[in-house]
Structure 1
């Protein structure tokens, strides 16, 4: 099979003609309500982004450094890595909670742990309490993230699912921006509140989720998997068709989801942890998922995300306020490009975005390395300024794919039966990559400075080649239809059965008086 080639069904975009062209997100009250609830889920990622920027900003604060006796080396690595260690501790529980008790209760449980962590971080009196607080934040985040991202994907209106699920990870930068600018504003406070106030702000997303998550609709796919078909149909109809349970789009979604889940439940090779590698299709899924998870943290971005202050030091920018200002501007820049890419996923396609992103990162990280070397070897100030420019250009290309797509692409290529476990593997891989980076990066930067960048230049070139041969296009498909890209002809036939069942039911409802203009 040629790189990027796809297996198609007889109706790869079969749902598109069922969508009412007059039902837009901005003129339909129920879609507006649905999207308002989805924002509550999307901001889960903001907590993670807040933490990444917060630790970067705190290292540029004299008040924080003095309070914790100027942590260096392994201690600094632990402070940055402990949140991800907490996430590792939560991963064994996350998929069982999401699939067992539901997406909404899992998000609530995660919010409880994150609120406790933010409270302890704000009130901590020593470095051990600070480490414990960040462990709790990571533990809660792993549970909430597993459920929130899936719920966004599974409850979204089909026309807007790619954009909304891509916005999930994109909003990492919203937390990043708040942390950067909050730290910039409080850095002038000459006491411990300079870093305690940003710690309080980290609790805001979890605070809203703690009280409001029960108003968010539960996943229709989870409801059907638990035998709650009536409730699932009612949820789909309420938000996707103004309450009309006979709407052809609702029938199509309902029947397709039922057929896919029935297939999973009848085939032991499609459930459980072993199923992740039991078939050729699932092994290909896992190779792609593990790779993009690792690439998302091991593309040179880890240097900027957690150790930007040390990068600045290597090019002679040592003023704390200047470092914080650049960090804040970079966060806004990243959010702009990531949001822009999120709205292009169906227009440009996932494969194009991944390949463009990888090629652009390779180019601009290489130029960043060259300029860093020029400053280190010859003290060229213009080269130091060029490094800042290339960091911004590097991130523009990073944000085309590795911010919006890594979560949405992972979720859409996984069938329902494996979605929670497969996404958990993705998050686990991200955490392992982060922990590795957070321990190795400060040691390597201190030891060999700009020469460490060469490692990432070579790795980025490898990423580009890998993505060319492995990324499969999933453009304009439902979640269930993407199974045909990996699972072969048997799944194609079963999907066609689901489509035919939807057509039969739709035609039956049409005879009873539904709008003939929306017939399948």
Structure 2
């Protein structure tokens, strides 16, 4: 098995990330379809419903990610993914069969819960089963599948708009259930996380999984034995001292640093402005004087740029250059692209709507503005896109990895909701000056990453204790526990013979 099996496990489990991308992207096409508009009322109610649908979906994602931490500890990674797919099937079925706005909104909330669960658990699962040398590539597959989901959603929506019935919007919503069902059934045949198995005392199963992931050659078996021994000792020691409290995330200086790094990389990913482009691209293009079908065409092309850059990055670069340098590169790049974009919009504002088509638009400025937006997507895919999922889940010890990843993902969704609220207001009221916010945020991000973020490339998950300076003596804890167990056993033996 070995490498190919690891890749298969990563790609298949990342169907959850594909569902994330598709579910997030398809609603943008659905709400513009004439049959959808006929079904759900006049323009005012439609606008209200669209905004509410979008926000409750993101809110559901936040709460789904919040609850997934407990579920992962209690039932494991595979079962939690299955819980997420069940919520996805339920929510998507409600959306597909909706005959009123209320049913659609409830379906979006439930689907949001599913995406929150999956967006937190899929990278967590891939982190725990991936070998250290290719962990960046395998966990980075999460971002790749999100991008592919967006692409598929764009083209499915484009094709379905020509169907002259309610199937034009019900079909693309219903197609969400296909990957959800495939993941629900298929994840059962993938291995459990060996680290979770060790946590719950299923050591023999954990060892078999490690062998399965490494392959069958003698060299692979030797490497598996070494990794399992290190993994087992560290996790068993963590089990003896863990308390399963949220406060564990800041109980020590080293743990606080882990938490700040994980939360920081997720929040900084939102500060990149990528989801402002994903959600409000047509409004940004309108600021460049590009409207109507031309804006939709540009947005469709834009959707394909990120995944192409991402697959190149996670395949050839991420596990060679590490995590820190790409994050620094990304933050610095966003300072440049948003500075240029702000300058273009400020210097060459589009003509008023009533004069559109009568006043010439500076074509060179338009092309330069589009280039900056596209470059932002490319630079995101070469930095925060894949790295944020990798780093947020790999920095924590096994004892707090699920709850820590949950908190980091919740932070991601919280700032996603915030920016989705303020971005259309900012672009309408302050226009080009709104982009200066991202210039300032990414400048600060660059400094913080440079000064405080560690490099975790090539480290095993158990080696993170060295990276972050944890004061945990694994051997001492295990020896103390062994002595305590032996003492209790001797006392019991003496009492039985008394």
Instruction: Give the C-alpha shift of residue 131 in structure 1.
Output: 1.5
> Paired residues, what number?
466
Q: Which moved more, 1:82-91 or 1:228-237?
A: 82-91
| 1:276-295 correspondence to structure 2 within 5 Å | 276-295=249-268
Do the aligned partners of 1:56 and 1:307 also contact (CA within 8 Å) in 2? no
Structure-1 separation of matches of 2:48 and 2:255: 38
Q: In the aligned structure 2, how far is the partner of 1:310 from the partner of 1:221? A: 46
Aligned mate of 1:478, from 452, 460, 464:
460
Q: Which residue of 1 aligns with 2:313?
A: 341
The 5-angstrom pairing of residues 137-216 of structure 1 reads: 137-216=111-190
Q: Residue 314 of structure 1 corresponds to which residue in structure 2?
A: 287
Counterpart contact for 1:53–1:180, Cα < 8 Å: yes
CA gap 1:228/1:446 in 2 versus in 1, 3 angstroms:
same
**Counterpart residue number, 2:55:** 81
Question: How much is the aligned-residue C-alpha RMSD, in angstroms?
Answer: 2.5
Alignment of 1:41-80 (within 5 A): 41-58=13-30, 61-65=33-37, 67-68=39-40, 69-70=42-43, 75-80=49-54
Q: Give distance in 2, aligned partners of 1:42 and 1:65.
A: 33
- Contact 2:338/2:436 (8 A) holds in 1: no
Change (3 A) 1:433 1:452: same
Q: Distance in 1 between matches of 2:168 and 2:210?
A: 47
Counterpart of 1:422 in structure 2 is 404
CA distance in 1, matches of 2:477, 2:251: 24
Q: 1:11: which partner in 2?
A: none
Q: Distance in 2 between matches of 1:312 and 1:65?
A: 24
2:443 paired residue number: 461
Following superposition, the deviation at residue 450 of structure 1 comes to 2.8
Deviation per CA, 1:105-135, whole angstroms, max 9, x where unpaired? 1111110110111111122122222211111
User: In the alignment, which of 316, 319, 326 is matched to residue 298 of structure 2?
Assistant: 326
**Does the CA contact (< 8 Å) of 1:165 and 1:407 recur in 2?**
yes
Cα shift at 1:287: 1.5
Q: Does the residue aligned with 1:473 lie in a helix, a strand or coil?
A: coil
Residue of 347, 357, 377 corresponding to 1:374: 347
Deviation, structure 1 residue 418: 0.8
Distance 1:162 1:497 in 2: 31
1:237 touches 1:244 (CA, 8 Å); kept in 2? no
Structure 1 unaligned regions, length at least 5:
1-28, 499-520
Q: Could you list the per-position Cα deviations for residues 376-402 of structure 1 after superposition, in whole angstroms to 9, with x for gaps in the alignment?
A: 267534322321111011111111111
- What CA distance in whole angstroms lies between the structure 1 residues aligned with 2:246 and 2:477? 27
Higher helix share: 2
Structure 2 Cα separation of the partners of residues 389 and 289 of structure 1: 31
Query: 1:501 maps to which residue?
Result: none
Q: Distance in 1 between matches of 2:297 and 2:34?
A: 15
Correspondence 1:204-283 to 2 at 5 A = 204-242=178-216, 247-268=221-242, 271-283=244-256
Indicate conservation of the 8 Å contact 2:133/2:319, yes or no: no
Partner of 1:296: 269
Q: Which whole-Å CA distance do the structure 2 matches of 1:76 and 1:375 have between them? A: 31
Give unpaired runs (5+ residues) of structure 2. 352-360, 479-498
In the TM superposition, what is the alpha-carbon distance from 1:271 to its structure 2 partner?
4.3
Residues 177-224 of structure 1 deviation map (CA, whole Å, 9 limit, x = unaligned): 101111222233344433322212222221101211110100111111
Say if 1:174 and 1:335, in contact at 8 Å, map to a contact too: yes
Query: Normalising by structure 1, what TM-score?
Result: 0.84
